[in-house]
Amino acid sequence: MVGKIVVLDGYTDEPAGFGVPPYIDVYPRYIAGAIWSYDPSITIHYLTVDWAREHFEKFLKLANSSDIVIVIAGAVVPGKYLGGTPINAEELKAWFKLVNRPLKLLVGPAALYGFGNEGGGYVKALPKDVKENFDVIVTGDPDLFVYTLLKEGLEKAEPWRRWDNLEMLDQFAIKGAKIVEQHPNYGYNLIAELETYRGCTRFICGGCSFCVTKNYSRVLVRKPESIVKEVEALYRMGVRHFRLGRQSDILVYGSKELGIEEWPRPNPSILERLFHGIRVVAP
Residue 205 pLDDT greater than 90, yes or no: no
Q: Has residue 117 got a pLDDT over 70? A: no
Taking residues 210-216, what's their average pLDDT? 69
Q: What's the pLDDT score for residue 13?
A: 94
Binning pLDDT at 50, 70 and 90, where does residue 119 land?
A: low
Distance of alpha carbon 99 from alpha carbon 71, whole angstroms: 12
pLDDT at 77: 80
pTM listed for this prediction: 0.95
Q: Which of these ranges, 9-18, 173-182, 197-206, has the smallest mean pLDDT?
A: 197-206
- Quick: pLDDT tens for 21-42: 999 999 999 999 999 999 999 9
In this prediction, residue 111 carries a pLDDT of: 95
Lowest mean pLDDT among 70-79, 203-212, 264-273, 274-283: 203-212
**CATH fold of the domain at 4-156:** Rossmann fold (3.40.50)
Mean pLDDT of the chain: 93
Q: What is the pLDDT of residue 262?
A: 86
Longest dimension (CA), the chain: 53
Backbone angles phi, psi at 63, to 5 degrees: -65, -45
CB of 231 within 8 A of CB of 278?
yes
Q: Let me know if 246 is exposed, middle or buried by CB neighbors in 10 A (0-12, 13-18, 19+).
A: buried
Strand partners, 168: none
Q: Where are the domains of the chain?
A: 4-156, 196-281
- At 275, the pLDDT band (50, 70, 90 cuts) reads very high
Question: What residues contact 280, with CB distance under 8 A and at least 6 apart?
Answer: 228
Q: What is the pLDDT of residue 118?
A: 58
Instruction: Give the rounded percent of residues in the chain with a pLDDT score beyond 70.
Output: 94
**Given a cut of 80, is residue 105 above it in pLDDT?**
yes
- Report whether 72 contacts 106 (CB < 8 A): no
Whether the Cβ atoms of residue 21 and residue 185 lie closer than 8 Å to each other: yes
Q: Which residues are within 8 A (CB) of 120 and not within 5 positions of it... i.e. 6 or more apart?
A: 77, 210
